[in-house]
Amino acid sequence: MALLHGRRTWVKLWVKEWLDGTCRFEMTSEQRGLWVDLLALAGASRHAGIVASGETNGKLMGYPLDYLAATLRVKEDVLRATLELFKAQDRITVSDTGAIYITNWAKYQSEYQRQAKYRKNKAPLHTDEPVELVDAESEPEALA
């Protein structure tokens, strides 16, 4: 699976809430790991906040469960039970085609959208153009 389909290269995780919030007490460590994996997959998706393999006839298609379990390196029955837990906790919804929608994605990942305008205007890190160095002692007005 190509994990960087979309443009996001990170997802926001609220530190205090992650350490002290309901996830810590309502989930096992394996379930918390799967939650973060789902957030990462939803971040890497072409469709922000949705874990889907692609689109067919205008509908987003989910990954087959065995494929998703193998990708996340978890037993299929554990993944199935964990997805049911996440649905019961209203953390996700799953479409009839198997696409996994992260509940409240836009609310919690809004920082990515806020910074989009800065990424768009940011100069490239590398350029083939020569850079002229200025000597501050001989040309102080060039630095003003």
Alpha helix locations (H) across the chain? 15-20, 22-26, 29-44, 65-72, 76-88, 105-108, 110-121
Q: What is the mean pLDDT of the chain?
A: 82
Comparing 8-17, 49-58, 63-72, 92-101, which segment has the lowest mean pLDDT?
8-17
pLDDT digits (tens, 9 = 90+) for 70-92: 999 999 999 999 999 999 999 99
Task: Determine the residue type at 75.
Answer: K
- Domains of the chain and any CATH numbers: 15-120 (1.10.10.10)
Interval 24-51 mean pLDDT: 93
Instruction: For 117-132, write each residue's pLDDT tens digit.
Output: 666 666 555 555 555 5
- Record the pTM: 0.71
Residue 23 vs residue 83, higher pLDDT? 83
Residue 132 is given by DSSP the state -
Phi-psi region of 54 (alpha: psi -120 to 50; beta: other; left: phi over 0): left
Per-residue pLDDT tens over the stretch 55-72:
999 999 999 999 999 999
